[in-house]
Structure 1
Amino acid sequence: MTDNSRNTTRLIKKYPNRRLYDTHTSSHLTLADIRQLVVDKIPFEVVDAKTGEDLTRSILLQVILEAESGGEPIFSSEMLMGIIQFYGPYQSVLGSYLDKSIQTVIDIQSQTGAQSSEAWSKFMHQQAPVMQDLMRQYVDQSKDLYLNTQNLFGLFGGMPPGKPGAGSGPKKNGDGE
């Protein structure tokens, strides 16, 4: 085998006894080990040992559940309820938004040169008021953009002022055609 273990996807098999087996290292793994693979950015795939079904998402959700159970959780009950409410017609919108938001935070982290999650955590706590305000502004702008787009297509029953494509701003009274 080559030393390019970071470039190849590691195959992890999940057995009926709920044990995870890393075929690359020939050893059993825990959810903490799976979390470390994610932190180390080592690509992997978890499959059912019997059926070959892809279980990666399910295992990642278990890692999140375990992380949420200990320490300070990321997700409040209200946030989790909001996520659950989005399943259905707006599911892809929320998924795309969360993907882009998390990628933005990862990009910021890499640009600041934070070498560890502890350094990042300290930075965020020191900058909490500033970062919270920036994130609030980002969320407000995203919400406004989303609602304006929905109104443009008439999804909420209202149309934006003026005719679509007839100018860049709202029409003043008496400007109608």
Structure 2
Amino acid sequence: MADKKAGAGETVVIKKYANRRLYNTATSAYVTLEDLAKMVREGTEFVVFDAKTNDDLTRQILTQIIFEEESRGEALLPVQFLRQLIGFYGGQMQGVLPSYLEMSLDSFSRQQEQMRGQFSKAFGAAPGAGILDEAVKRNMALFTDAMKMWPGFNALTPGGPAPGAAPETRAAPAPDPLAEMRRQMDEMRSQLDKLSKGG
């Protein structure tokens, strides 16, 4: 059902009906959340619209896919990360956080691709699973550390000040939050580069 892709560069339109059924207009067939998850993994771009109101439901459907994956035991998001994420809703950093997360995950994905390429050259077509697993764990640890460097995340980490609590000494606010974010991203890229070189 979800196997047939639209032409290169085309975005598939999915219609959601009142009975909660999802209809792929490119394949003229009904699809499930699992089919949509497969499309995401294959790199097929799609948008979801309400069939009656034409409202864009893409974000809701993607969130629902994550919920389904998490609830079936494919847990990827740490509990502490979810708590921190919820804490940002309605906060001052809500506008900046999406772009920061997008840059972080994009950098992480590029790093993983580089590592796979290096493993393929060193060990043949299929790298040792244990080595790759260890590398993924180290990358996730670096990603977590990088997230802690971001002032907003640090405030919600265990041992950090509770939200709303007055710190003993308050540091002067950074003059340019975007410049600080870029600096932190550069530090994270530097750490990931060292990791990919075996350092």
TM-score (structure 2 length as normaliser): 0.62
Deviation at 1:74, TM superposition (A): 1.7
Tell me if the contact between 1:12 and 1:46 (Cα under 8 Å) persists in the aligned partners. Answer: yes
Q: Secondary structure at the match of 1:47?
A: strand
Structure-2 residue corresponding to 1:161: none
Q: Secondary structure at the match of 1:12?
A: strand
Q: 2:114 and 2:55 mapped to 1: Cα distance?
A: 37
Q: 1:60 and 1:80 mapped to 2: Cα distance?
A: 16
Structure-1 residue corresponding to 2:115: 112
Compare 104-113 and 26-35 and name the one that shifted more.
Answer: 104-113
In the comparison of the two structures, how many residue pairs are matched?
149
Query: Are 2:144 and 1:131 aligned?
Result: no
Deviation at 1:46, TM superposition (A): 0.6
Query: Are 2:71 and 1:49 aligned?
Result: no
Structure-2 residue corresponding to 1:151: 173
Q: Secondary structure at the match of 2:112?
A: helix
Structure-2 residue corresponding to 1:17: 19
Deviation at 1:13, TM superposition (A): 0.3
Alpha-carbon RMSD:
3.4
Tell me if the contact between 1:6 and 1:43 (Cα under 8 Å) persists in the aligned partners. Answer: no
Structure with the larger RCO, 1 or 2 (CA within 8 Å, 6+ apart): 2
Structure-2 residue corresponding to 1:35: 37
List alignment gaps of at least 5 residues for structure 2.
121-125, 156-170, 178-199
Q: 1:150 to 1:136 in 2, by over 3 A?
A: farther
Q: 1:123 to 1:4 in 2, by over 3 A?
A: farther
Deviation at 1:122, TM superposition (A): 5.4
Deviation at 1:87, TM superposition (A): 1.1
Partner letter of residue 175 of structure 2?
Answer: F
Structure-2 residue corresponding to 1:175: none
Compare 84-93 and 45-54 and name the one that shifted more.
Answer: 84-93
Q: Secondary structure at the match of 1:152?
A: coil
Q: 1:129 and 1:152 mapped to 2: Cα distance?
A: 32
List aligned pairs for 1:82-97, cutoff 5 A.
82-88=84-90, 89-97=92-100
Q: 1:8 to 1:35 in 2, by over 3 A?
A: same
Q: 2:75 and 2:13 mapped to 1: Cα distance?
A: 29
Q: 2:128 and 2:95 mapped to 1: Cα distance?
A: 29
Task: Please identify the structure whose Cα radius of gyration is greater.
Answer: 1
Partner letter of residue 113 of structure 2?
Answer: S
TM-score (structure 1 length as normaliser): 0.69
Q: 1:30 to 1:98 in 2, by over 3 A?
A: same
Q: 1:121 and 1:49 mapped to 2: Cα distance?
A: 44
Q: 2:69 and 2:23 mapped to 1: Cα distance?
A: 21
Q: 1:87 and 1:121 mapped to 2: Cα distance?
A: 38
Q: 2:12 and 2:140 mapped to 1: Cα distance?
A: 37
- Structure with the higher helix share, 1 or 2: 2
Deviation at 1:82, TM superposition (A): 1.2
Q: 1:16 and 1:27 mapped to 2: Cα distance?
A: 16
Deviations 1:83-129 (A, max 9, x none): 111112211222222111111111112223469xx979855422256
